[in-house]
Structure 1
Amino acid sequence: MSSGFSIRTVTSSKSANRNEHTIREAARLLWQFHCIYDPLKSSDLIVGLGSYDLRVADRCADLFHEGLADRIVFTGATGNWTKDLYSTSEAQAFSERAQVLGVPLAAIVTETTVTNIGENIRFAAQIAPSASRVIFVTKPQTQLRCQATVLKQWPDANGLVTAPLTSYEDQPTQVHDERALICEMVGDLERIRTYPVLGFQSEVLIPDGVARAFETLVDAGFTDHLPRGA
């Protein structure tokens, strides 16, 4: 287990009866549910969804060098988790990282105003409307939500979703620790559950075990990333 890998004390009164093992087991269930890793094929475009995790840009660069696509689109403005992390937008930070890793600037397109997954995907569709197959690269724990959004927002694209090949233990970073990771997964599961009725995503069947793990983590206080009003 990585050094510094720990769950911060949660403030919910219900957390007193939750031990660390129970929380981690529930968190790993959500992690496994969110991580899908589609088999990849040669594609027309790679889309890197901006975030606090530069490993996404690294993965995009690797796929580019493997010849899976000859163009990368990086999308993302600045969000709550990145406003103090980058001196510029998420998309620009990812672009700069990819260039350091040998991706030519001419192969990169950036969109620096979008603020959510749906906007990321709609922008990519606008700049490559004729693309028949697109690889979407995001954080491991965001893959399922990305897939559900692609199916709704860009149904004509054969969207393949992947992420850095990171384990649950290695996913936390200095700026996004294990507690933040768990809160993110809890919040995204709630969005997977509720966003289809709003027209944002396609429906996803949530297994009973995953639903119970979600409730365990909500009861334990990992609610920082829940949508407002949830």
Structure 2
Amino acid sequence: MISKQARQDAQLLWDFQLMKHEPRPCSVAIGLGSHDLGVADTTADLYHRGFAPLIVFTGATSRTTRDRMPRGEAEHYRERALELGVPASAILVEPQARNTGENIRFSRALLAEQGIDVSSVLLVSKPYEERRAYATTRRIWPEVEIVSASTSMSFGDYVESIGDARLVVDMLVGAQQRLLVYPAEGFMIRMEVPAAVAAAYERLCAAGFTSRLVRAAIERPAG
């Protein structure tokens, strides 16, 4: 269980992370690997709805996924998409990336190796990482148009689907921290953070939702 205040603060972070882009046709959909198979479901749905002719699933494993996705996040995503009727010919797998920056760099390289011209990317992530994924891709691949997408669901429904409220809030706090500290490291573009969102983030950190923070950055200024 988490407190009422923590839930309200987490809702603020959740709402801020959503880019609220309308889906539109893109050169390729890139599904960012994670513990959440919903990313694969949403990517497959967007493919079937004609928003991208090709999918790249990207991701190795992490401490969160090594047990539940032993063959790698991208491979498990591919298997899920095949179950959902996406043809194998429409899926590329990038199995090495271990962070968002590598997701984008390695996917870009794979598409170049395949001779695929990319002018726009339908970037599919978990709902609470839309903004982080967008900011990272803008830094690494600035020449393409980026359309952010994720599973359409409320914060409460997402928590229920994952079954672990604290994990979701920890992830939200970690995503928010990266928006604050990573621009100074050159990992993503800087995006303005409203004061209410910054205050909610600080309260959640003080309340102990810190397991997904980048420890080396905790004592550094945001830049």
Q: Does TM, scored on the shorter chain, surpass 0.5?
A: yes
Residue 87 of structure 1: how far off its partner (Å): 2.8
Residue by residue, what CA displacement relative to the aligned partner does 1:108-163 show, whole Å, maximum 9, x if unpaired?
Answer: 00011110001111122223353111101000000000010011010011011110
Query: Hey, what does 1:115 align to over in structure 2?
Result: 98
Query: Hey, what does 1:158 align to over in structure 2?
Result: 145
**Which amino acid is the alignment partner of residue 56 of structure 2?**
V
**Percent identity over paired residues:** 39
Residue 25 of structure 1: how far off its partner (Å): 0.7
Correspondence 1:147 to 2:147:
no
Q: Is the 8 A contact 2:179 2:191 kept in 1?
A: yes
Residue by residue, what CA displacement relative to the aligned partner does 1:73-115 show, whole Å, maximum 9, x if unpaired?
Answer: 0000000110111231000000000000000111100011110
Query: Hey, what does 2:221 align to over in structure 1?
Result: none
> Take 2:163 and 2:174, find their aligned partners in 1: how far apart are those partners?
15
Query: Hey, what does 2:89 align to over in structure 1?
Result: 106
Q: Is the 8 A contact 2:101 2:136 kept in 1?
A: yes
SS at match of 1:172: helix
Query: Hey, what does 1:193 align to over in structure 2?
Result: 180
How many matched pairs?
213
- Normalised by the length of structure 2, the TM-score is 0.92
Runs of 4+ off more than 6 Å: none
**Which amino acid is the alignment partner of residue 69 of structure 2?**
Y
- Normalised by the length of structure 1, the TM-score is 0.89
Correspondence 1:92 to 2:75:
yes
Q: Is the 8 A contact 1:134 1:160 kept in 2?
A: yes
> Take 1:43 and 1:30, find their aligned partners in 2: how far apart are those partners?
28
Match of 2:111 among 128, 131, 134: 128
Residue 40 of structure 1: how far off its partner (Å): 1.6
Residue 173 of structure 1: how far off its partner (Å): 5.8
Q: Is the 8 A contact 2:61 2:70 kept in 1?
A: no
> Take 1:35 and 1:210, find their aligned partners in 2: how far apart are those partners?
13
> Take 1:41 and 1:33, find their aligned partners in 2: how far apart are those partners?
21
Query: Hey, what does 2:198 align to over in structure 1?
Result: 211
SS at match of 1:57: helix
Q: Is the 8 A contact 1:37 1:143 kept in 2?
A: no
Note closer, same or farther for the CA distance 1:175–1:63 as it changes in structure 2 (3 Å cut): closer
Residue 175 of structure 1: how far off its partner (Å): 5.9
The farther-off stretch of 117-126 and 73-82 is 117-126
**Which amino acid is the alignment partner of residue 64 of structure 2?**
W
Instruction: Give RMSD over aligned pairs.
Output: 1.3
Match of 1:54 among 30, 34, 37: 37
Residue 216 of structure 1: how far off its partner (Å): 0.8
| 1:176-187 equivalent positions in 2, closer than 5 A | 177-187=164-174
SS at match of 2:158: coil
**Which amino acid is the alignment partner of residue 158 of structure 1?**
E
Match of 1:37 among 20, 23, 29: 20
**Larger fraction in helix:** 2
Runs of 5+ consecutive residues of structure 2 not aligned to the other structure: 219-223
The farther-off stretch of 168-177 and 37-46 is 168-177
